[in-house]
């Protein structure tokens, strides 16, 4: 069995201990290391390269969004799943813009967190159902500004990969095209659909059931 190596980052030791206990019945999830703050989470992730970093949003030093942005720069292969007590979509927007692959509320069931880790480790994106429902509505203005043109297969591929957090460089490598070509497809697709930000792209992807299908 290929285990998913996880780093847990939360400033409360009791929370980290609780998360470890949640994972005990799931032999495919292995806690590789822990961190008590955002800067330590980045440092240990760069050092150990876990498959998934489960990062609390509210941490001393760097918050979850800031830690995610650092990891995207310093260890882009580490997929970040943010664990948060905040249901405000503003916090979700922050972590998505920073490059997180998932967002789960702390009050979620244990099985949901484990499922989120599996989805993110497999290259997909996971949004807590309580928040994902708010993203299913079409992006504001998308229908008004859409040209009505259908996406080409390549434009759709690029948009899907952007939605789950891949960078232009990672998409280029995955699709075996140049970064400039990725940027061209991205521009064409977002113009056709009237999308103006990464959050708009994720919302569109959620609406079309793309997030766990990459």
Kindly report, residue by residue over 87-116, the tens digit of the pLDDT.
Answer: 877 788 788 888 898 899 888 778 889 999
Burial of 20 (0-12, 13-18, 19+ CB in 10 A): middle
Contacts of 137 (CB under 8 A, 6+ apart): 203, 207
Which pLDDT band holds residue 149 (cuts at 50, 70, 90)?
low
Which of 112, 134, 156 is the last residue before a domain boundary?
134
Domain that holds residue 175: 142-207
Return the pLDDT at 88.
76
Question: Which is higher by pLDDT, 213 or 151?
Answer: 151
Q: How many Å from the N-terminal Cα to the C-terminal Cα in the chain?
A: 22
Number of domains in the chain: 2
The pLDDT mean for the chain works out to 84
Which of 134, 160, 182 is the last residue before a domain boundary?
134
Residues paired with residue 103 on neighbouring β-strands, in sequence order? 82, 127
- 130 and 157: one domain? no
Return the pLDDT at 47.
96
- 159 and 84: one domain? no
* Long-range contacts formed by 165-171: CB under 8 A, 24+ apart: 165/79, 165/99, 165/100, 165/101, 165/125, 167/72, 167/76, 167/99, 170/76
- 70 and 25: one domain? yes
Would you call 197 helix, strand, or coil by DSSP? coil
Rounded mean pLDDT, 173-198: 89
Say yes or no to pLDDT of 144 above 80: no
Cβ(171)–Cβ(160) under 8 Å? no
Return the pLDDT at 147.
47
- What are 73's two structure tokens? 């720069």
Return the pLDDT at 210.
72
Return the pLDDT at 212.
52
């Amino acid at each position: 069995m290929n285990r998913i190596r996880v780093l847990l980052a939360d400033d409360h030791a009791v929370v980290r201990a609780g998360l470890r206990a949640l994972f005990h019945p799931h032999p495919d999830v292995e806690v590789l290391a822990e961190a008590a703050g955002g800067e330590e989470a980045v440092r240990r992730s760069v050092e150990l390269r876990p498959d998934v970093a489960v990062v609390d949003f509210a941490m001393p030093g760097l918050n979850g969004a800031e830690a995610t942005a650092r990891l995207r720069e310093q260890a882009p292969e580490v997929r970040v799943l943010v664990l948060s007590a905040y249901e405000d979509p503003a916090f979700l927007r922050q972590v998505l813009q920073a490059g997180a692959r998932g967002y789960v509320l702390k009050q979620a069931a244990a099985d949901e967190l484990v499922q989120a880790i599996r989805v993110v480790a497999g290259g997909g994106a996971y949004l807590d159902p309580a928040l994902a429902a708010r993203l299913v509505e079409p992006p504001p203005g998308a229908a008004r500004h859409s040209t009505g043109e259908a996406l080409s297969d390549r434009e759709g591929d690029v948009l899907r990969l952007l939605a789950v957090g891949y960078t232009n460089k990672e998409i280029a490598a995955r699709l075996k095209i140049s970064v400039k070509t990725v940027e061209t497809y991205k521009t064409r697709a977002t113009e056709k659909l009237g999308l103006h930000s990464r959050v708009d792209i994720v919302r569109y992807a959620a609406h079309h059931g793309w997030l766990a299908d990459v």
